[in-house]
Amino acid sequence: MPEEDFVFVPTPVLAFLARFLPDRATLSLDAWQVDDTAAQITLHVISTPSGVPCPLCHVRTSRVHSRYTRTVADLPWGAYAVRWQLRMRKFFCDNPACPRQIFTERAPTVVAPWARRTLRLAQLLIAYGVALGGEAGTRLTARLGLRTSPTTLLRLVRAAPTPHDAAPQVIGVDEWAWRRGQRYGTILVNLEDHRVLDLLPERSAAAVAAWLTQYPTIAVVCRDRSALYAEGIRQGTPQAVQVVDRFHLVKNLREAVEAFLHDQRAALQAAAALTVQALTVVAGPVSTPRMYRGRHQCSQAWQQRQEAARQQRQAAWVTTYEATHTLHTQGTPVTTIAQQLGISRPTVYAYLRRTRPPSPRSPQRSGQVLRPYMAYVIQRWRELRAQGYSHSARTVSRFITRLRRASEAGWAPETQTSPYTRPQGPSARAVSFTWVCPAVKRSQDAQLYVDQLRQVDQAIGQAYTLSQAFLALVRERQGDALEAWMAKAAASGIEALARFAQGLQEDLAAVKAGLTLPWSNGPVEGHVNRLKLLKRQGYGRADVGLLRQRVLQVA
């Protein structure tokens, strides 16, 4: 914008400065002074209302008893700290019926009684304290010209009023660790607007009951499986419907599955071997010798044998490819195709993704084709040694072979770190997580592994089917079908699942409500994770009061 478009007003400086006071209806600026050495601006501010109500009887009065001066800090102006000499008054109460004879006027929109800083400065400091904590908050406020200390910042945060939800109706309660494995607290969240209602320093039935009694509006409480919270809720809000959170139901099921799989070590290992095999069917047997064969192996007979084997593999791939596509075009289900051709379902999918048969790889002399890249490979090899790798080139070569196989199977190179293909197989714990994870969210190697594992052992297959049926109840919220499922689990002969069903029986009403009502503690879990982050930032120094403020102020 060109300069001549501005209209400059030759305002007297006091009228100009007064624009920056927080409440110009009740304050006026009388004088100002600048101390350049101390980088300090002092404003003389006067409280102006001619009549004020008595705080006790609320009758207005204008008879001044006396005046006094308060010094309060305000927002800085650039490098200059700003403070006010605030002239306030004491008034006589003229109401003869009022026991109060003299009172001090208040400026509730500007400064709290007894406070040493204006409200707007205090709010700014609280915002920094909440966001950053004492130390980091003070470092940043210092750069903005705000003079404070970590202790002051945290004291302000601790004393700040918290937002208050008067009538929550649907809430979630859960534990959170404020010293991992040692001390637990309780978090309460409004499940309708996802805001944190409160953070209690302990995890006990009594604390939860005492908190709940304050809110007769609560109609639904979502909780974990602990008897402790169940009891607290029963005491505090007997009228509320208790709902077991679906997250915890799935967690308990996963624990049961893990316990079951612990005794299936051999099957877990066998399934890993089958997974590798299923993968090899797609990519063809690995011609690893080609990659590191020595000169003595390069006899003509050897080469002929290699070539014959290669042609055989190629022919088998083409046959499988064509059969897969023909059956698929005829509308044959993938499972049937897999059974008929004796390959796994993922392998069927891998073939279907291809638009032409796997192409033959012509035998190549590695030296010739690699020549343009040799300088690069030598450089990378040196870098690998420089990073501390001291093992053989053969190991690297084997890894690269696996990468190639993976890439031919349509896998990401990262799957080479997959626990599902290692010789000892994955842990029972890892498998249990995959097991309860929705199929669409499983990684390709995990899915392939689960498919193999189910077929290794009949009991495992049965346990899998049973747990998937339970997960379907959870996801589709079919509380009505719960008891039928429990009967099946109890009769299954799979002890871990029978025990799980028995546990559900002991908390049946709340579990059924969890499988029927739409509420879940998803928002609570989100907040619990955020708490972990806050503690990692070193925010509260294990100070629950501060952590509570931080959580409630931001929520």
Question: CB-wise, 58 or 532, nearer to Zn ion?
Answer: 58
Instruction: Report in angstroms how near the CB of residue 104 gets to Zn ion at its nearest.
Output: 13
> Is 403 within 8 Å of 417 (Cβ atoms)?
no
Q: What is the dihedral of CA 369, 375, 377, 383, to 10 degrees?
A: 180
Q: Does 57 bind Zn ion (CB under 5 A)?
A: yes
Instruction: Report in angstroms how near the CB of residue 189 gets to Zn ion at its nearest.
Output: 44
Interaction pattern, residues 140-169, with Zn ion; x per rule: CB under 5 A: ------------------------------
Quote the DSSP letter at residue 42.
Answer: E
Quote the DSSP letter at residue 220.
Answer: E
Cβ neighbourhood burial of 94 (10 Å; 0-12, 13-18, 19+): middle
Q: Does 100 bind Zn ion (CB under 5 A)?
A: yes
Three-class HEC string of 418-475: CCCCCCCCCCHHHHHHHHHCCHHHCCHHHHHHHHHHHHHCHHHHHHHHHHHHHHHHHH
Instruction: Report in angstroms how near the CB of residue 96 gets to Zn ion at its nearest.
Output: 10
Collapse the DSSP code of 367 into the 3-class scheme (helix H, G, I; strand E, B; otherwise coil) and give the result: helix
Residues 479-498 touching Zn ion, rule: CB under 5 A, are: none
What are the CA-CA distances from residue 109 to residues 116, 314, 500 (Å)? 15, 84, 59
> Is 150 within 8 Å of 543 (Cβ atoms)?
no
Question: CB-wise, 63 or 536, nearer to Zn ion?
Answer: 63
Question: CB-wise, 98 or 127, nearer to Zn ion?
Answer: 98
Segment near Zn ion (CB under 5 A); pick from 57-65, 171-179, 446-454, 536-544: 57-65
Instruction: Report in angstroms how near the CB of residue 25 gets to Zn ion at its nearest.
Output: 23
Segment near Zn ion (CB under 5 A); pick from 54-62, 105-113, 396-404, 538-546: 54-62
Q: Does 370 bind Zn ion (CB under 5 A)?
A: no
Give the residue from 140, 107, 114 showing the smallest Cα distance to 23: 107
Question: CB-wise, 95 or 478, nearer to Zn ion?
Answer: 95
Question: CB-wise, 57 or 131, nearer to Zn ion?
Answer: 57
Instruction: Report in angstroms how near the CB of residue 86 gets to Zn ion at its nearest.
Output: 23
Quote the DSSP letter at residue 4.
Answer: G
Residue with tokens 């997974």: 275
Instruction: Report in angstroms how near the CB of residue 530 gets to Zn ion at its nearest.
Output: 48
Interaction pattern, residues 59-98, with Zn ion; x per rule: CB under 5 A: ----------------------------------x-x--x
Distance CA 335, CA 327 (A): 11
Question: CB-wise, 55 or 333, nearer to Zn ion?
Answer: 55
Among 54, 337, 409, 510, binds Zn ion (CB under 5 A): 54
Segment near Zn ion (CB under 5 A); pick from 34-42, 53-61, 325-333, 378-386: 53-61
Instruction: Report in angstroms how near the CB of residue 103 gets to Zn ion at its nearest.
Output: 7
One-letter amino acid at 405 equals: R
What are the CA-CA distances from residue 276 to residues 93, 178, 343, 441 (Å)? 91, 44, 13, 21
> Is 178 within 8 Å of 542 (Cβ atoms)?
yes
Question: CB-wise, 55 or 413, nearer to Zn ion?
Answer: 55
Number of residues that bind Zn ion (CB under 5 A): 7
Distance CA 423, CA 180 (A): 35
Question: CB-wise, 104 or 162, nearer to Zn ion?
Answer: 104
Question: CB-wise, 58 or 179, nearer to Zn ion?
Answer: 58
Segment near Zn ion (CB under 5 A); pick from 49-57, 136-144, 189-197, 531-539: 49-57
Distance CA 144, CA 75 (A): 10
Among 15, 34, 38, 56, binds Zn ion (CB under 5 A): 56
Question: CB-wise, 52 or 504, nearer to Zn ion?
Answer: 52
Give the residue from 12, 50, 11 showing the smallest Cα distance to 30: 12
The footprint of Zn ion (CB under 5 A) covers 54, 56-57, 93, 95, 98, 100
